[in-house]
Amino acid sequence: MSQKVLLNAKEVNIILHRLACQLIEKHNDFSDTVLIGLQPRGVYLADRIAKILKEDYSVSDIKLGYLDITFYRDDFRRSDKPLEANKTKIDFLVEDKNIVFIDDVLYTGRSIRAALTAVQSFGRPNEIELLTLIDRRFSRHLPIQPDYRGRQVDVINSEKVKVNWKEHDKEDSVYLIDK
């Protein structure tokens, strides 16, 4: 198994700031916008984006939530191992809000489809956008594209994109792993 560095810590930081600036351009003061990180690994990206918006760009009122999509996936019954659900934490209204879903890697699009279904339990948003750190361009099963992307990579199905976060994995990095 070999691995190649796609992004190092400095490049990840630059991309996170660019994504935060793009969000500010579209959503200004975030009064009608909420950020929702998709469990499990999208929450690290969502936390970092929210922190950058608050600390570096003085956006004071960021509403940040986490959404577990485990039982909304169309493949959750196909696994031999028992699934472990994560926690959903949405302590604000999504009715008539602009939602930005945040996930680390966009692969087949099935997680996003599940998130679209799951969020309906909380109300009817005005608009839903998608922010991803990595967009695996040639792997989509559903017609879903990100509105904000950190980096687009061309990856074949035998390869895996692994995103590491210093809060969880002791480093910020993105690797391409040949299985």
Q: Tell me the pLDDT tens digit for each residue of 96-115.
A: 999 999 999 999 999 999 99
Distance CA 44, CA 122 (A): 22
- pLDDT above 90 (res 79): no
Tokens of 167: 């809060």
Strands (E), 9-153: 33-38, 63-67, 98-106, 127-136, 148-153
- pLDDT above 90 (res 170): yes
Q: Which domain range does residue 155 map to?
A: 3-75+84-178
With CA atoms as reference, report the closest residue to 99 among 132, 60, 125: 125
CA 125 from chain centre, in angstroms, equals 18
Q: Which amino acid is at 147?
A: D
- pLDDT above 60 (res 78): no
| pLDDT tens by residue, 41-55 | 999 999 999 999 999
Distance CA 77, CA 50 (A): 33
In the chain, pLDDT over 90 holds for what percent of residues? 80
Distance CA 6, CA 150 (A): 12
Cis peptide before 125 (omega within 30 of 0): no
pLDDT given at position 179: 75
What is the side-by-side order of every strand in the sheet holding 63-67?
63-67, 33-38, 98-106, 127-136, 148-153
| pLDDT tens by residue, 22-42 | 999 999 999 999 999 999 999
Whether 41 contacts 62, CB under 8 Å: no
CATH number of the domain where residue 150 is located: 3.40.50.2020
pLDDT given at position 86: 86
How many Å from the N-terminal Cα to the C-terminal Cα in the chain? 5
Instruction: Considering only residues 44 and 87, tell me which one the structure prediction assigns the higher pLDDT.
Output: 44
Rounded to whole angstroms, what are the CA distances from 127 to 11, 73, 74, 80, 150?
Answer: 30, 21, 23, 36, 21
Q: Work out the number of other CB atoms within 10 angstroms of the CB of residue 147.
A: 15
Number of independent structural domains in the chain: 1
Q: Work out the number of other CB atoms within 10 angstroms of the CB of residue 154.
A: 9
